[in-house]
Structure 1
Amino acid sequence: MRFSKEVAIITGAASGIGQAVAIQLASEGAYVVLVDLNSCEKTIQQLNGADYLECLGDIRDKEFVQATVARTIEKFGEVHILVNNAGTCSRLDLEDMTLDQWDRDMDTNLKATFLFSQACVYPHMKDAGYGRIVNISSISGINGGVVSGGEKNGRSGPAYSASKGGVIALTRWVAKEVGKYGITCNSVAPGAVLTGITAGVAYDTSAQVIDRMGEPNDIAEAVLYFANRKAGYATSQVLKVDGGYSIG
């Protein structure tokens, strides 16, 4: 039970990667705070009786973020792990990208990561002298967008790629800032994974070393490595979990 009685906040916990992370953490003893805009009932049904807190709202809203962390502290007394997972992905190209779409991706993927990191570190993780922050970025934040086909437009759009690149840069900045408090900050960069974001998108995985789409549990396993206490010497890292897509 690597996470016995540890408290973990997971954004985007209603489905996909966030759901898988929450279920795996709970299965290893963690108390999970499920954050999403949508009901987390399907996740809750798979927690097998583990203690949880559901917080529904807009993670781009600073007041909601602060209220979520305050509710976490009120119920559990502390917070050990933060997984910034929730995200949106527009697939418009540069010519067609609207300001509303740009702001949606940037605010959901990057601004919310900043808001939750700030609210968890100060004062809670700092005062405790311990914390694990894991940010979900993307291969698109490294290579400028994964090419795809299917019923949706080509590759992930410029706002998504820019926001995920920003998550990587923020991860490294925060890691340098919070290490002195016993806090690590790392990122997992998935490739093509079977989630709601990739529904209707076709990826050619034949050139990958592992010829298949990723599954949420593939990413959750990487998250749990960075989230556990024994990973205290790993920080500022970006772990690609992409089936070997980025090798060649």
Structure 2
Amino acid sequence: MKFKDDVAIITGAASGIGQEVALQLAKEGAKIVLVDLNACGKTINSFEQGTDYLECLGDIKDPKFVKAVVNRTIEKYGEVHILVNNAGTCSRLDLEDMTLEMWDRDLNTNLKATFLFTQAVVYPHMKEAGYGRIVNISSVSGINGGVVSGEEKNGRSGPAYAASKGGVIALTRWVAKELGKYGITCNSVAPGATATAITAGVAYDTGGQVIDRMGEPSDIAEAVLYFASRGAGYTTSQVLKVDGGISIG
């Protein structure tokens, strides 16, 4: 079992990509800390019998909640090996219609929370252990300015989402440079259009992709598991696009 006895914190674990990451890590022997604003019953009910897990429900934008999650993890398991910053929001308002409320929501959920959890697991826990795997879910929108859907308006991911995910990529690279000396790697997976709640109801034209279909959460989870593994110890600061080839020029 590739992740036997590893302790993994996963944000946004109630559904979608986070749920799939949790299930795959658990199947490989990891102890799972499920973090979400919503109850994770669907994920928990899908675990194999005997899976060791901890559910933490709250707002990942709240520093006190983030610290409480990490403290509960350490109290129960004594250590933390893997952090997957997955939870996110995506407003689809264009620049003209973008509100400050939506801007703050996307930036705080996607970028601020990634910073908060990274800081909380590294200092002192991963640093003292001399080991850690941090995987941040960004997006090809943070690279190319937004995946265009088939709709004329409010289909493309908005400027707040693109800015937040671009920030996640920049933060990933900064953290990787800072923490490599402690045996901690930090990488990012950048999905393209993927069938989750965020993309529900949005019509994506995948005909221009090399692989003509929407991505599935399992496609993204497979990439996350590589970065989270002990075998990825010489890989850091990378942004892996899992996008069906849409980024090919």
TM-score after normalising by structure 1: 0.99
Separation of aligned partners in 2, 1:42 and 1:99:
33
3-state SS of paired residue (1:33): strand
The CA deviation at 1:153 is 1.3
For 1:213, the equivalent position in structure 2 comes to 214
For 1:42, the equivalent position in structure 2 comes to 42
The CA deviation at 1:149 is 3.0
Separation of aligned partners in 1, 2:32 and 2:208:
37
Instruction: Kindly indicate whether the alpha-carbon contact (under 8 Å) linking 1:140 and 1:164 is maintained by their aligned counterparts in 2.
Output: yes
For 2:18, the equivalent position in structure 1 comes to 18
Q: Does 1:183 align with 2:184?
A: yes
The CA deviation at 1:90 is 0.1
For 1:77, the equivalent position in structure 2 comes to 78
For 1:90, the equivalent position in structure 2 comes to 91
Separation of aligned partners in 1, 2:153 and 2:27:
36
The CA deviation at 1:152 is 7.1
For 1:117, the equivalent position in structure 2 comes to 118
Task: Count residues with an aligned counterpart.
Answer: 248
Bigger drift between 149-158 and 103-112 goes to 149-158
The one-letter code of the counterpart of 1:45 is N
The CA deviation at 1:207 is 1.2
3-state SS of paired residue (1:193): coil
Coordinate RMSD, CA, aligned? 0.9
Separation of aligned partners in 2, 1:83 and 1:75:
19
Instruction: Kindly indicate whether the alpha-carbon contact (under 8 Å) linking 1:150 and 1:200 is maintained by their aligned counterparts in 2.
Output: no
Unaligned residue ranges in structure 2 (runs of 5+): none
For 1:137, the equivalent position in structure 2 comes to 138
Separation of aligned partners in 2, 1:20 and 1:118:
24
Q: Does 1:194 align with 2:201?
A: no
Separation of aligned partners in 1, 2:221 and 2:153:
26
Q: Any idea what the Cα deviations from partners look like across 1:216-240, whole Å, max 9, x if unmatched? A: 0000000000000010000000000
Instruction: Kindly indicate whether the alpha-carbon contact (under 8 Å) linking 1:12 and 1:18 is maintained by their aligned counterparts in 2.
Output: yes
3-state SS of paired residue (2:119): helix
The CA deviation at 1:151 is 9.7
Separation of aligned partners in 2, 1:16 and 1:208:
22
For 1:30, the equivalent position in structure 2 comes to 30
3-state SS of paired residue (2:207): coil
Separation of aligned partners in 2, 1:237 and 1:124:
23
Q: Any idea what the Cα deviations from partners look like across 1:148-204, whole Å, max 9, x if unmatched? A: 135971310000000000000000000000000000000000000000000000111
3-state SS of paired residue (1:83): strand
The CA deviation at 1:76 is 0.7
Unaligned residue ranges in structure 1 (runs of 5+): none
Q: Does 1:9 align with 2:15?
A: no
Instruction: Kindly indicate whether the alpha-carbon contact (under 8 Å) linking 1:38 and 1:56 is maintained by their aligned counterparts in 2.
Output: yes
Identity of aligned residues (%): 82
For 1:52, the equivalent position in structure 2 comes to 53
3-state SS of paired residue (1:86): coil
The one-letter code of the counterpart of 2:66 is V
The one-letter code of the counterpart of 2:40 is C
Separation of aligned partners in 2, 1:153 and 1:99:
17
Instruction: Kindly indicate whether the alpha-carbon contact (under 8 Å) linking 2:6 and 2:80 is maintained by their aligned counterparts in 1.
Output: yes
For 1:149, the equivalent position in structure 2 comes to 150
The one-letter code of the counterpart of 1:11 is T
Separation of aligned partners in 2, 1:154 and 1:80:
37
Instruction: Kindly indicate whether the alpha-carbon contact (under 8 Å) linking 1:151 and 1:200 is maintained by their aligned counterparts in 2.
Output: no
The one-letter code of the counterpart of 1:18 is G
Q: Does 1:228 align with 2:245?
A: no
